[in-house]
Amino acid sequence: MTAINGAARACASVSTMRQEHQVAIIGGGMVGETLAALLASRGIDTALIEAQATAAFAPDSEPDLRVSALNPLSTALLHSLGAWERVQAMRAEPFRRMQVFEGDQRPGLCFDAAEVDGEALGHIVENRIVQSALQSLQQPYLHRYCPARLRAMVTLPDRCELHLDTGQRLRVQLVIGADGAHSQVRQWAHIDTEFVHYAQQALVLNAVVDHDDATWQRFVPSGAQALLPLPGRRASLVWYHDASHCAHIQSLDRQAQCEHLMQAFPEELGKVEAVLASGHFPLSMHHARRYWAPRVALVGDAAHSVHPLAGQGVNLGLLDAQALADVLSAQGDCGDSASLRRYEQARRADNAMMLRALHSVYQTFSVDQPLWSGARAALLAMSHRAGPAKRWVMRHAAGERV
Ligand SMILES: Cc1cc2nc3c(=O)[nH]c(=O)nc-3n(C[C@H](O)[C@H](O)[C@H](O)COP(=O)(O)OP(=O)(O)OC[C@H]3O[C@@H](n4cnc5c(N)ncnc54)[C@H](O)[C@@H]3O)c2cc1C
């Protein structure tokens, strides 16, 4: 396949210097950074191209709005790279219990780490801290291009040529799109996606509240509300709602936001002393029909994105990173189609199953009718009592293949 666009022709005249690497990863989000560290640790000469530099961590800073629940398998992967200790030295909050309930019905479905002999069900971590921890690793085989944006790529049978907005040109065996849900690499490789746009948005508010080592999620007919504990007396509150409601809450002053939250959220929230920051994020589900094209592979949100209500997005992306690293070798041709096919076989069906499951959860819990509300409460209560099934769900959410 050969693909070139106008920007490539423009860039070509800026610089004739060409750097050679085995692999180029486009996008240094959590997934791209993790994959870069994995490949470099295996002696693969890797270029990481990221458009935005990550701000240095300041211990007295307030938490960022973008946080993720990392499951034990993800933290184990970061640990194996030497990055998890660095995350913990900055900021991370474990949660040992999780409660999911419908409206005012309690207890709903409760998970406890003790039921699967675990120390924690997961950790809530700021995305930028995971990126910073990975960036601080010493990796002789890793070459960073940051800030730099991929402007164009040309794929040829034996290599791929990349044009950056800095004027630099790279020649690589394989380009990996880790450039997020709106992946340009995916578009340039002509890989289609299945796409579902959700009417709801995720309104995220960082607040000062008391909490223990638990996270909870309440389903109400208009959407869902959740608390993710952060270090100290901080929590990330997530409210899934239609766009106009999210805009309305964001237009309120901080005091009015506190009062509104205490009114609308369940009593588990307690007193909201302050709202520190808020933002909203559009929601969609998409799945690339293929995870590879000649000399191109996709990982993380570039390959799939899911509704965040079950906190699985980056956890799936890190499994992609691990699987792709496992099929590439420093000695062979990293762009070899047989390896890329093995990667797709290892990941696409598993991801498709998770995407379908999460979409079904979204559909089941977004029907605004009293009868459905009762059925959902009964379903959660029944699931709570079904010991083996509940443990299966817990192990799956923790990233284990069960
Ligand atoms: C509100 C919300 C809550 C969430 N909560 C959770 C959770 O609790 N648990 C969980 O597992 N997941 C969660 N997710 C999903 C998770 O955030 C994503 O799955 C994850 O961030 C995807 O990581 P990524 O590295 O694949 O992509 P991204 O984080 O999107 O990173 C892509 C990177 O590529 C760079 N880039 C893009 N184009 C170019 C280019 N042309 N050149 C150079 N660089 C480029 C961008 O600057 C960016 O840094 C949540 C998502 C949302 C919206």
Q: Which residues line ligand 1 (CB under 6 A)?
A: 26-32, 49-52, 68-69, 127, 149-150, 178-180, 184, 202, 204, 281, 300-301, 308, 311-315, 317
Model confidence over 190-233: pLDDT tens digits? 999 999 999 899 999 999 999 998 999 998 878 899 999 999 99
Question: Across residues 27-39, what is the average pLDDT?
Answer: 98
For residue 54, give the DSSP letter: P
More confident residue, 381 or 308: 308
Confidence of residue 361 (pLDDT cuts 50, 70, 90): confident
| pLDDT score for 24 | 98
Check whether 398 has a pLDDT greater than 90.
Answer: no
Report d(CA 284, CA 180) in Å as an integer. Answer: 12
For residue 29, report the distance from its CA to the centre of ligand 1, in Å. Answer: 6
Asked if the model's pLDDT at residue 371 lies above 70, the reply is no
Question: Which domains, from first to last, does the chain contain?
Answer: 6-362 (3.50.50.60)
| pLDDT at residue number 5 | 39
| For the CA of 69, the nearest atom of ligand 1 | 8
Query: Which pair of tokens denotes residue 356?
Result: 């379908």
What is the distance in A from the centroid of ligand 1 to the CA of 369?
A: 34
Nearest ligand 1 atom, CA 178: 26
**Is 176 exposed, middle or buried, given 0-12, 13-18 or 19+ CB atoms closer than 10 A?**
buried
Supply 328's token pair: 């590439």
Q: What is the pLDDT of residue 210?
A: 96
Tell me how far the alpha carbon of residue 30 lies from the centroid of ligand 1, in angstroms: 7
Average pLDDT, the chain: 90
Q: What is the mean pLDDT of residues 73-99?
A: 97
- Cα(150) to centroid of ligand 1, in Å? 17
Looking at residue 14, its pLDDT comes to: 42
Q: Is 139 exposed, middle or buried (0-12, 13-18, 19+ CB in 10 A)?
A: middle
Q: How confident is the model at residue 251 (pLDDT cuts 50, 70, 90)?
A: very high
State the closest ligand 1 atom to the C-alpha of 238, by its place in the atom list counted from 1: 1
The label of the residue with tokens 């700021």 reads: 126
Residue type, 353: M
Give the pLDDT confidence score for residue 12 in this predicted structure: 37
pLDDT for 13: 40
pTM: 0.92
pLDDT reported for residue 119: 87
pLDDT of residue 114: 87
Q: Give the mutation target among 34, 135, 179 for probing the ligand 1 site: most ligand atoms within 8 A of CB.
A: 179
